[in-house]
Structure 1
Amino acid sequence: MNIKKNVSVWLKAGVVVLVTILIVSQKAQKPRILILHSYHTDYPWVVQINEGIRRVFDGHHDIALRHHYMDLKNHTDEDFKRTAASTANRTIRKWKPDVLVISDDLGQQLVGRRYLNDRDVQIVFCGVNGETRVYGYDTADNVTGILERKPLSAIRETLLMVARAKGYREKTAGGDHPKVVFVCDASDSVTAELSELGAFQWAPLTWCPPVRVKNFAGWKRAVRDANGYADMILVSDYREFLLPSGEKEPVSPSEIMGWTETNSEIPILGMSLVNVADGGMISVFTSGYEQGEVAGAMALAVARGERAGDMEVRRTRQFLISVKKSAMDERNLPIPTIYESFARATDNFYE
């Protein structure tokens, strides 16, 4: 009797051990995908990309996902960049992902280019403002992704809508070309997109030379100066301005946009998803959801056997609109019904 009981106990124990081994083995064999962000989750752009990725992988329990944040929007000094890059590379070496999904230009510059043509890891990029050749991706056989490109045609249409509401007439009717100036910081993402902005056909608008500044004091001067020669100001990034105290702390984005709206006599339009949330009146911007969803779908395909280098690089196709009614009212600008409906539908409408 005792012998039978002991045999039963050992059999049950053996089954438990076998199941445990199978589970561990299965987990070890899961394709691993590391989501490497240049920034952190306090930046709404990152939240949108993560949501897009989640839509792809939700329910895919056969894939091991991990997120890593370099936090380079909050820390812009070179020492921190080196440390963040070293930490990211150490994570890659230890976890050994099969696919790297790298978001935004800094991640490509500091980490991605290190794994060009690496046999052990495939790269999928997203949120890239620059050209792929800058990172060596154009000739690599293990890279694909989606480029981030601003919806310039939609931005031009919005500028024209505002100009007409302010009394602009077509030149054939005795009017003139409204002048637009882009006031921006000196961040890597802005630097990467300046050539495309300059090459775009803005007519019937007049595109003035962009004004790049390094701090909030320079931003204030640029905005005041623009009031003397331009009819509208375009903005996008300004989150790298540090406090003048010498500390490595950024100026509050809401303080920057609040000051800008208050002190500019001419309308200000945004090209980033945070501009209106920070206090601006209207913004037309690239969808982070699309960036994450496309990159996620590519990463899933690679994890299931496709080669990244065989997949065509994609470009932005979707954009979003954000509107702040009180700021539009302040400048006596009407909100087109389609703009309001779209902004409300995507939770980007502010009273």
Structure 2
Amino acid sequence: MKQFFAVAKYVVIAALLVVVGRLVLTQNSEQAKILVVHSYNNDLAWVNDVDGGIRRAIGAAQASDGPRLNVRTHYMNLRNHPDCNFYKNAAAEVRFTLDDWKPEVIILVDDLAQALVGFNQLMLDETADRYALAQDLNDWISGGRCATPALDFFGLDDPGDTPLPELVFAGVNGSVAHYGYDQASNVSGIFERKNYAALIETLISLEQAYPGDVAGIMMLNDASPTAITENQNYRAEDWSPFVAEPPVNAASIAEWEDAVALANERDLMLLIANYQNVSDANGQPVAAEDLIAWTELHANLPVLGVNTRFVADGGMMTVAIAGSEQGEVAMELALAALNGATARPQRDAQQFLIGMNQSLVRKRGLILPAIYEAFSREIGSFVPVVAQLYVVQDGDSE
């Protein structure tokens, strides 16, 4: 009798496991799968802001009885590992997830994810030259990191299996034609192009507040692919009433210091957007906080950031695109695709944020319109007067 009950117990347990397994499979089959792929890691404020916008859009969809969602987020962490072998392995990891999980939609954030992941998932037009696009991307990805490898190194020769997912891009500054997106039928997204009107208005305020001569402006960035792309937009913009000098991309701290010296010599205000990939004399990354603190200390004219993290990293002021809008709109486009929308819109960013460090404003003796302080206080990007203003370097003192 005991043996009978023991066997019966295991039969009941097995039956329950089967039922639970079927329930899980049924639930998963009813959920729409969305994979969010970030080029970088969540140690960047920008990435966390984008994720916050994504969560906000998901919450709004759930509140309005939207589709049941299964959302996964993957961080490729490419900014912290700017070398070809890491890029290769990171791309292969995402492709494995795509092959195994098969999401209906992929949200790709920032440029490198578009090239390493998005390109292979395109429904390209019949007239598109896939090989030429792949070769161009291959050169771009490897540029400055390694000798250009064969197309199979980054997997650009291996298109994804059908049915291909919908693609939604975010955080792209330049044209998406580089990735073949203009020749594909499954792509929508939101650009991260800077709000140049707001930048010019702020530069005018800084010029009026600065007691010395301002001969023009110059963009200074690192030499990352994103920064190189940023140059195209900078050159294309009408910066009137300012004279815009050619942009400078500094791969090393020596090149960065030379660029700041050049700006001082020519009475130029600096615009800085990308600065996390500058190397020291040993080839190691310079900490962003040290680089921006050094720049604020040595730049004669006011420096304006174009990056959400710039003030937190020690800068005086920034006017940057809001990452939360990028994430929210990207998820809204993903949900629209899941709901069968036939349009594939590509939108421009509308929201921007202002950040300000009051200590650095006062140290430079600038009197700025009160709206800058009020706005930055409202959104939590205002740094009040503090005792320590700079990271002291090279024997300099405050």
TM-score of the pair, normalised by structure 2? 0.79
Cα-to-partner distance string for 1:258-286 (whole Å, 9 max, x where unaligned): 11111111111111111111111000011
Task: Say whether 1:110 aligns with 2:116.
Answer: yes
Give, as a single letter, the amino acid of the residue that structure 2 aligns with 1:224. A
Task: Say whether 1:320 aligns with 2:353.
Answer: yes
Task: Say whether 1:332 aligns with 2:343.
Answer: no
Q: In structure 2, how many angstroms separate the alpha carbons of the residues matched to 1:14 and 1:23?
A: 14
Conserved in 2, the CA contact under 8 Å of 1:37 and 1:102?
A: yes
| Aligned-residue identity in percent | 38
Alignment of 1:153-164 (within 5 A): 153-164=197-208
Q: 1:203 to 1:27 in 2, by over 3 A?
A: same
Conserved in 2, the CA contact under 8 Å of 1:163 and 1:178?
A: no
The residue that corresponds to 1:43 in the other structure is 44
The residue that corresponds to 1:189 in the other structure is 226
Task: Say whether 1:69 aligns with 2:69.
Answer: no
Conserved in 2, the CA contact under 8 Å of 1:37 and 1:70?
A: yes
TM-score of the pair, normalised by structure 1? 0.89
1:238 aligned counterpart, secondary structure: coil
The residue that corresponds to 2:26 in the other structure is 25
Conserved in 2, the CA contact under 8 Å of 1:177 and 1:206?
A: no
The residue that corresponds to 2:298 in the other structure is 263
**TM superposition shift of 1:83:** 1.3
**TM superposition shift of 1:22:** 3.1
Q: In structure 1, how many angstroms separate the alpha carbons of the residues matched to 2:323 and 2:373?
A: 20
| Structure 1 residue corresponding to 2:323, chosen from 280, 288, 295 | 288
**TM superposition shift of 1:15:** 8.2
Q: In structure 2, how many angstroms separate the alpha carbons of the residues matched to 1:25 and 1:13?
A: 18
Q: 1:158 to 1:128 in 2, by over 3 A?
A: same
**TM superposition shift of 1:23:** 3.8
Conserved in 2, the CA contact under 8 Å of 1:146 and 1:314?
A: yes
The residue that corresponds to 2:90 in the other structure is 84
Conserved in 2, the CA contact under 8 Å of 1:181 and 1:230?
A: no
Conserved in 2, the CA contact under 8 Å of 1:37 and 1:104?
A: yes
Which residues of structure 2 form unaligned runs of 5+?
1-7, 124-161, 385-398
Give, as a single letter, the amino acid of the residue that structure 2 aligns with 1:95. W
Task: Say whether 1:221 aligns with 2:258.
Answer: yes
The residue that corresponds to 2:179 in the other structure is 135
Give, as a single letter, the amino acid of the residue that structure 1 aligns with 2:193. R
Q: In structure 2, how many angstroms separate the alpha carbons of the residues matched to 1:284 and 1:277?
A: 13
Cα-to-partner distance string for 1:7-55 (whole Å, 9 max, x where unaligned): 9xx9999788546523431213311000000000001110000000000
Give, as a single letter, the amino acid of the residue that structure 2 aligns with 1:288. G
Q: In structure 1, how many angstroms separate the alpha carbons of the residues matched to 2:378 and 2:335?
A: 29
Give, as a single letter, the amino acid of the residue that structure 2 aligns with 1:124. V
Cα-to-partner distance string for 1:226-250 (whole Å, 9 max, x where unaligned): 100033111111101134324xx42
**TM superposition shift of 1:177:** 6.9
Q: In structure 2, how many angstroms separate the alpha carbons of the residues matched to 1:63 and 1:305?
A: 15
Which residues of structure 1 form unaligned runs of 5+?
1-6, 169-175
**TM superposition shift of 1:291:** 0.3
Stretch of structure 1 that moved more, 153-162 or 206-215: 206-215
2:310 aligned counterpart, secondary structure: coil
Give, as a single letter, the amino acid of the residue that structure 2 aligns with 1:72. L
**TM superposition shift of 1:61:** 7.5
2:271 aligned counterpart, secondary structure: strand
Task: Say whether 1:206 aligns with 2:243.
Answer: yes
Conserved in 2, the CA contact under 8 Å of 1:285 and 1:321?
A: yes
Conserved in 1, the CA contact under 8 Å of 2:192 and 2:349?
A: yes
Give, as a single letter, the amino acid of the residue that structure 2 aligns with 1:156. I
Give, as a single letter, the amino acid of the residue that structure 1 aligns with 2:364. R
The residue that corresponds to 2:311 in the other structure is 276
**TM superposition shift of 1:166:** 1.7
- Higher normalized contact order (CA 8 Å, seq sep 6+, divided by chain length): 1
Cα-to-partner distance string for 1:185-222 (whole Å, 9 max, x where unaligned): 11111211212211211111111111111111110111
Cα-to-partner distance string for 1:274-327 (whole Å, 9 max, x where unaligned): 1111111000011101000000111112223334xx221111111100000001
Give the total of aligned pairs. 334
Conserved in 2, the CA contact under 8 Å of 1:30 and 1:64?
A: yes
Runs of 4+ in 1 over 4 A off after TM superposition: 10-20
2:230 aligned counterpart, secondary structure: helix
Stretch of structure 1 that moved more, 205-214 or 58-67: 58-67
Q: 1:165 to 1:177 in 2, by over 3 A?
A: closer
Conserved in 1, the CA contact under 8 Å of 2:193 and 2:348?
A: yes
**TM superposition shift of 1:349:** 0.4
1:186 aligned counterpart, secondary structure: coil
Give, as a single letter, the amino acid of the residue that structure 2 aligns with 1:52. G
2:246 aligned counterpart, secondary structure: coil
Stretch of structure 1 that moved more, 187-196 or 298-307: 298-307
The residue that corresponds to 2:382 in the other structure is 349
